[in-house]
Amino acid sequence: MTLRAQPESPESTLCGLGLRRPLLDELLAQPAGRIGFLELAPDNWIGVGGKRFEALQQLRADHPIYCHGLSLSLGGPEPFDHDYLRGLRGFLDELQTPLYSEHLSYCSDEGQLYDLMPIPFTDEAVRHVAARISEVQDALGRRLAVENISYYAAPFQAMAEIDFINAVLAEADCDLLLDVNNIHVNSINHGYDALGFLQALPAGRVRGIHVAGHFVEAVDLRIDSHGAAVIDPVWNLLAAAYDHCGLQPTLLERDFNFPPIAELLDELDTIARLQHEHLQRVATRRTVTAHARCA
């Protein structure tokens, strides 16, 4: 494997947690700096007032707020609601969010489907979703990072998933939010090599990483639940992701079945350890290369 040697920015070493309502009190109780950033779904926070708004104001004083959308339906057939996009742009500007991401999926078709559905892997769909990503980037005045999703029932596939993702990224000229748990889950459910898939993604477009736990339904079926601790194969894939694309702000996704906050903080410490080990590997390679030049 090639280790990506690049100058690491302070932001690239951030380890974050999802801003979820059941965690609000415990997040507010953490000392500044314990959690590197928080990520929220704008869909759940735009227009919110009262105590939740006050809590968000308190938290944003100590944490960069990353935003991860749920309902844009990038691959969907219906025109975007530009009133919503204007409101979203104002929300992202107000929070000065370092990264806005959405799922490479669709979730509406003559109404909300309440799920993130996989887009058919076809040339026509590449052109369709890339044009819509460009429309969103223009409307929001910022680059969009799209996330590789987990999926179960595979739609029509004229090309491989990896080719579909890479074609969309190139045609839309957008960024990638790399979810290593989704790669692991899909690799088991759809029978492919997770590491090979990861290494075929364009390292230069990655702007953030998600890591999460999942539910083991059967030996050949994993459910992307975000409701359990991260398992070793996913940690190993995160380490490989750092070697592939350098350090990136990394979010631990936990959406239900919340353990004591100390367990989530332990998982953030694991992320920090993997980042440190990556930097050690890069430093060792540089030393070996320098010695080889002098020999």
Return the residues of window 38-77 that contact Fe ion according to CB under 5 A.
none
Cβ atoms of residues 129 and 168 within 8 Å: yes
Q: What residues form DSSP beta bridges with 208?
A: 177
- Residue 233 Cβ vs Fe ion, minimum distance, rounded to whole Å: 16
Between 64 and 69, name the residue whose CB sits nearer to Fe ion.
69
* x/- map, 144-183, Fe ion, by CB under 5 A: -----------------------------------x----
Q: How many residues of this chain interact with Fe ion, rule: CB under 5 A?
A: 2
Coil vs helix vs strand at 38: strand
- The residue range among 35-43, 79-87, 183-191, 203-211 that interacts with Fe ion, by the rule CB under 5 A, is 203-211
In whole angstroms, how far apart are CA 289 and each of 3, 134, 283, 286, 294? Answer: 12, 41, 10, 5, 9
Q: How far is CA 155 from the centre of its chain?
A: 22
- For the chain, the farthest-separated pair of C-alpha atoms sits apart, in whole angstroms, at 68
Between 210 and 222, name the residue whose CB sits nearer to Fe ion.
210
- Residue 139 Cβ vs Fe ion, minimum distance, rounded to whole Å: 23
Q: How far apart are CA 268 and CA 15, in angstroms?
A: 6
Return the residues of window 208-227 that contact Fe ion according to CB under 5 A.
210
- Residue 11 Cβ vs Fe ion, minimum distance, rounded to whole Å: 18
Between 148 and 166, name the residue whose CB sits nearer to Fe ion.
148
- Residue 179 Cβ vs Fe ion, minimum distance, rounded to whole Å: 4
Between 194 and 282, name the residue whose CB sits nearer to Fe ion.
194
- The residue range among 79-87, 126-134, 206-214, 217-225 that interacts with Fe ion, by the rule CB under 5 A, is 206-214
128 binds Fe ion (CB under 5 A): no
Name the residue whose CB lies closest to Fe ion.
Answer: 210
- 34 CB-near residues (< 8 Å, 6+ apart): 265
Q: How far is CA 99 from the centre of its chain?
A: 10
Q: How many CB atoms lie under 10 A from the CB of residue 126?
A: 24
- C-alpha closest to that of 77 among 101, 41, 113: 113
Site residues (vs Fe ion, CB under 5 A): 179, 210
